[in-house]
Structures are given as structure tokens and as C-alpha cells.
Amino acid sequence: MDQRTLPARTTDLAEGTLWPGVGDPIRLLTEITAWLRSYGATSTRRTYAEGLGLPTSVTDLRDWLSRADHTWVHVLRAYADTLDLTAALHADITDPERNRPPTRPGRFRPLHWLRWCASTGLDPVTAGSIDVLTWQDALRAAGAAPATRTRMLATVRTLYQHLAAAGLVTANPADLDRRRLGLRDPQPAKTILTLTPAEVAALLNAAARPRPGASPRDRLRARAVVALFTLGLRVSELCDLDHPDLHTTRGRRALRVTGKGGKIRTVYLTDLAESALTDYFDALPTAPTTTVTRATASGRAPLLITRTGTRCDRRDIWSLLRRLATAADLYELAGAMHPHALRHFYVTTAMEQGAHITDVQSDVGHARVDTTQRVYNHATRDPSRTAATHVGDTITRHLEQTP
């Protein structure tokens, strides 16, 4: 369908600025949908759609659908299906309580590629390299970090590869030398927050102490969470643990942990973690494996559950750690506390205590040993634990022995 035959409102989608000037918007959206479908994970499709300025929320999508004529609707529904938004849209319509606008629009949202094209009157199909350069300048001027601009450029470049293969464009305007865009500067090394053994002990003690609003079972769960984090787990690994993951192997209690990329590793329990888990299980009203939860309805029995019996969420864990840091009087840490700090604690403590780096790498599930080394190098380590102290002491002893 030619754009001229569309009702005016169909060219006025998504905040009224998305498609003006686009020669064949239906063809473009169809190809974008096909491109997104080439990715297996919905989260990836959503990330790319968001980066282009397309709707990824129910609110945005409903706005599109409300404006579209029947020709657009089937294209939009195909797009919504691609992002798994259709079911959420129906739930949203039947539940007005969920009909809320986004709480905070993105800082760079008006500068996402398609929105920027619309605001400048540019047809994305005819855009050239100079337009992409201008867009990148606009992003830089708006304060977008190099990593953000790199991500957005990569999204646009990959999209145009597909559009070129589909015959919609003749060349890829985003196939640019990133050095000329200032995108190859190395990231400054960030200091990694790492806890000391004393601070971890303070967290464990704070978890066990009575807190306002926290039941004894809450306290035992909090202690189990901190104890499990001392094994070097990622927060998502901890939340995803199921009861069958807790097992005995080679005479020791261990966890079967599913890490990034679905990689499974065995993590042996320390006495601390085992006792914390045992105390927590003892406090549950029913045997853990028979606890009725939403997750067990799908055949899984989460290791850690909330008061209502559902699986602990990573945001709960993050909030819990900050509360514990405050309760432990670690006020300076509380603002920066996050689950990875305990993972970094594991890496630095293990290596400072003489563990071999490859063993530590295996324990925490790093794919490459240089990742483990990087964590160790960038950690804010406890000065009292540095080997430099031992070297200095040795030299001092020799100096004292020398007349």
C-alpha cells in the first residue's frame, strides 16, 4: 500500500513523530520484524527494537494499534508477536489497574535512530553515512556514553545489513570506521567494590539479628542468602537454584549451579553455607520439596522462597543486601552494595589465601581466566591483606639482622 493512500493518522504513530517522510512504512516495518525474528531470544529482539525507537512496552504498542488501520494491524500484530507483546497487551486491556504510563522516559529516547530520523524529516531507507555521522554527533552532544553509542550503532548497522540483503537499501550507511567516531577509546578501569571478611561477617551477623518487620524465617533466609553468596555465586544463579540442585557428590554437599550461557558447574558447600541452609529449611512450614509455590506449578521447587512461597527475585536480593549493610552499620557500603560485591569478595579472598587462579575461575564459572584476573586486579582490596606487607616485613627483618 502506498503511503499516500493511508489515513493521515497512520503516518502519525508513536508520539506523532515516528514515520513522517517514510516512503513505504509498511515495507520497512515488515522487514524490521523479519530481522528481529532472526534472533532467538525475546530479550534480544526487545533490546534491538528499543534501540531503534520502536515500541517495546504495552503502552507504546497499544498506542500504535489504536491509530492503525486494518492494513497496518496485521503488520503490527506480527511485530507484537515477535516481541511476545501480544499476550501482555491482552492482559493489560483486561486489567485497567495495569494501564499506567511509563514512569520515566529514557534520556536518549528521542535520539533512537528511527525517532531521530523522524524528527529531522529523514527517510531511514534513503539515509546515508553522513546522516549516521550527524546522528552520532547528536548522541554524543546529548551525553551518551561511548558504550551506548557503540551499541546503538551496532544495532543500526545490523539492521541495515538485513535491509540491504532484502533489497530495501543499496548500501549500509552505518558501516563506518568506529575510530573516526571516537568509539574505540578503551574503557577506564573501574574500581570493583569488594568486601572484607570482617564486613561479610558483619552482614551475616546483621542477617541473624532481629530487625523490625522481619520474622525469624526472614532472618534465616537472609543469612542463607549471604552464606550462599560467599560461595561466589551470581545473583541470578542464586535465585534460579532449585531443590534438586542441592545434592551430595564425592561425600560433600554441593549445588548444581546454572551459569551464564546455560553452563552448569558444581559448587561445594562450606560449613557456613550448609548450616545456614539447614537452619533455613528447618524454619519452613513444610518440607521444602513439597512447598506449594507458583514455581512448583511448572515443575520446579525453588531453593529460596519469599514469604508468599514464590521464588526470590534478584531485586529482592539486592534490596536485602542494602538493608543488611545498613543494619550492620556499614553505611558507606550500603549505598554501593550489590550482589556482585560478594562474588568479588570470593575471588579476591580465595586468591589472597593462596588458591590457584584456575581453581577460582572454575569455582565462579568464568569462561576465561583473564576475567578472574581482571576482577582481582581491579578490586578494592583490604590493605591489611596485601602480600606487600609480608614482603616489607621480610625486608625489615633482614635490615634488623644486618649490622
Partner DNA sequence: TCTACGGGTGCCAGCGTACC
Partner DNA sequence: GGTACGCTGGCACCCGTAGA
Q: Please give the residues from 311 up to 330 whose contact with DNA meets the rule CB under 7 A.
A: 312-316, 318-320, 323
Instruction: Kindly indicate which of the ranges 16-24, 147-155, 248-256, 347-355 contains the residues binding DNA, using the contact rule CB under 7 A.
Output: 147-155
CA–CA dist 170, 51 (Å, integer): 23
CB nearer to DNA: give 127 or 152: 152
**Candidate list 3, 11, 30, 47; residue touching DNA; CB under 7 A:** 47
When asked if residue 180 is in the footprint of DNA (CB under 7 A), the reply is no
Q: Whose Cβ is closer to DNA: residue 300's or residue 340's?
A: 340
Residues numbered 6 to 35 that lie near DNA (CB under 7 A) are none
Please select the residue that binds DNA; options are 62, 140, 151, 256, rule is CB under 7 A.
151
* Exposure of 334 in the CB half-sphere (CA atoms within 13 A): 14
Q: Is 254 helix (H, G, I), strand (E, B) or coil?
A: strand
Instruction: Please give the biggest Cα pair distance in the chain.
Output: 100
User: Using the rule CB under 7 A, which residue among 184, 252, 356, 397 binds DNA?
Assistant: 184
Q: Considering only residues 240 through 279, tell me which ones interact with DNA, judged by CB under 7 A.
A: 260-261, 263
Distances in whole angstroms, Cα of residue 208 to Cα of each of 150, 201, 223, 318: 45, 11, 6, 17
Angle at 50 between CA 47 and CA 54, to 5 degrees: 140
Query: Is residue 281 within the footprint of DNA (CB under 7 A)?
Result: no
Helices within 120-177 (DSSP H only): 129-141, 146-165
Q: Which of 71, 340, 362, 382 binds DNA (CB under 7 A)?
A: 340
Q: Any contact of residue 129 with DNA (CB under 7 A)?
A: no
Q: Please tell me whether residue 93 binds DNA under the rule CB under 7 A.
A: no
H helix or E strand, kind and range, residue 168: none
| DSSP string across 96-116 | GGG----SS--TTGGGSHHHH
Q: How far is the CB of 350 from DNA (least distance, A)?
A: 15
**Site for DNA (CB under 7 A): how many residues?**
75
Nearer to DNA, 281 or 318 (CB): 318
> x/- site string to DNA, residues 199 to 228, per CB under 7 A?
-----------xxxxxxx-x--x-------
The SS3 assignment for 363 reads helix
Judging by beta carbons within 10 Å of its beta carbon (0-12, 13-18, 19+), is residue 360 exposed, middle or buried?
buried
Q: For residues 1 and 91, which CB has a smaller minimum distance to DNA in the complex?
A: 91
- For residue 333, the minimal CB distance to DNA (Å) is 11
Nearest distance from C-beta of residue 8 to DNA, angstroms: 25
62 sits near DNA (criterion: CB under 7 A): no
d(CA 162, CA 177): 19
Would you give the binding string for DNA spanning residues 96-115, x where CB under 7 A is met?
-xx-x-xxxxxxxx------
In the complex, minimum distance from the CB of residue 192 to DNA, in angstroms, rounded to a whole number: 8
Which element (helix H / strand E) includes 252?
strand 252-258
User: How many DSSP H helices and E strands does the chain contain?
Assistant: 19, 3
Single out the segment in contact with DNA by CB under 7 A; choices: 233-241, 278-286, 295-303, 347-355: 233-241
State which of residues 34, 88, 164, 272 lies at the interface with DNA (CB under 7 A).
88
Phi/psi-derived region of residue 250, left when phi > 0, alpha when psi is between -120 and 50, beta in every other case: left
CB of 29 to DNA, least distance (A): 18
Q: Considering the complex, what minimum distance in angstroms separates the CB of residue 238 from DNA?
A: 9
Q: Which pairs count as long-range contacts for 265-273, CB under 8 Å and 24+ apart, including other chains?
A: 265/362, 265/363, 265/365, 267/231, 267/232, 267/233, 267/363, 269/231, 270/227, 270/230, 270/231, 272/204, 272/227, 272/230, 273/224, 273/227, 273/228, 273/230, 273/231
Q: Which is nearer to DNA, 264 or 287 (CB)?
A: 264
Per CB under 7 A, does 40 bind DNA?
A: yes
Shortest distance, position 253 Cβ to DNA, whole Å = 23
Residue with cell 520446579: 300
Q: Is 195 in the site for DNA (CB under 7 A)?
A: no
Q: Of how many residues is the chain composed?
A: 403
Cell 644486618 locates to 402
Query: For residues 185 and 237, is the Cβ–Cβ distance under 8 A?
Result: no
Stretch that binds DNA, among 76-84, 118-126, 333-341, 394-402 (CB under 7 A): 333-341
Among the listed ranges 73-81, 196-204, 364-372, 390-398, the one in contact with DNA (CB under 7 A) is: 364-372
Tell me the closest approach of the beta carbon of residue 400 to DNA, in angstroms: 43
